[in-house]
C-alpha cells in the first residue's frame, strides 16, 4: 500500500500520494490547495523577510503607478467580492464599536503634565454603520492651546 497523506487545506482533506521530490508535502496538487499553500508561504515570507517585504511593496507601488484605478475597476468587475467585503467590514466595525479596546493606563508621572492631545496632524475617519475598508479620511491639524 502506498503512503497516503491527508491534504491539510481546510475544506479539502482529500487523501493524496505525496510527491517523492517534495519532502514534507502537506497539500494535495489541486489548484485551490496549491494556491492556499502559496498564499501561506507569501504571508510568512512577507512577515519575516524584510528584503522580500521591501521588494513586494516596491512592486505594488509600481503597479499602482501604472494603473491607479485597478481596485476601483476590480470592484466594478467583481460585485460579489465587493459586497462580501463590505459585509465583513460592517461586522468588524460593529464589533469594534461594541467592544472598544481597553484604555491604556500609564503610571502617572507627577512631574509631567498629562495632555492627551499632542499638537500635530491627525487623520479623522467618520464612523457610521456603513463604513467600508477605505473610508473617506481627512487630515486635520490640532494645536493644543493649553496643557492639562
Ligand atoms: Zn487538497
Q: Is 120 helix (H, G, I), strand (E, B) or coil?
A: strand
Report phi then psi at 28, rounded to 5.
-75, 180
Q: Is residue 36 within 8 Å of residue 27, measured between CB atoms?
A: yes
Give strand pairing partners of 121: 141
pTM of the model: 0.48
Mark the residues whose beta carbon lies below 5 A from ion ligand 1: 7, 9, 12, 28, 30, 33
Q: Where are the domains of the chain?
A: 1-65, 69-104+113-148
Distance 144 CA to ligand 1 centre (A): 58
Distance 15 CA to ligand 1 centre (A): 8
HSE of 117 in the Cβ direction (CA atoms, 13 Å)? 12
| Cell numbers standing for residue 147 | 496643557
pLDDT per residue as tens digits for the range 9-53: 999 999 999 999 999 999 999 999 999 999 999 999 999 999 999
Distance 24 CA to ligand 1 centre (A): 14
Amino acid at each position: 500500500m502506498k503512503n497516503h497523506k491527508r491534504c491539510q487545506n481546510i475544506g479539502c482533506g482529500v487523501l493524496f500520494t505525496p510527491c517523492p521530490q517534495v519532502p514534507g508535502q502537506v497539500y494535495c496538487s489541486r489548484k485551490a490547495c496549491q494556491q492556499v499553500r502559496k498564499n501561506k508561504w507569501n504571508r510568512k515570507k512577507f512577515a519575516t523577510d524584510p528584503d522580500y517585504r521591501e521588494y513586494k511593496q516596491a512592486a505594488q507601488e509600481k503597479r499602482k503607478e501604472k494603473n491607479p484605478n485597478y481596485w476601483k475597476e476590480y470592484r466594478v468587475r467583481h460585485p460579489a467580492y465587493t459586497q462580501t467585503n463590505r459585509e465583513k467590514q460592517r461586522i468588524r466595525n460593529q464589533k469594534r464599536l461594541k467592544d472598544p479596546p481597553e484604555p491604556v493606563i500609564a503610571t502617572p508621572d507627577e512631574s509631567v503634565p498629562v495632555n492627551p492631545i499632542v499638537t500635530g496632524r491627525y487623520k479623522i475617519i467618520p464612523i457610521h454603520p456603513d463604513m467600508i475598508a477605505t473610508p473617506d479620511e481627512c487630515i486635520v491639524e490640532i494645536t493644543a492651546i493649553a496643557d492639562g
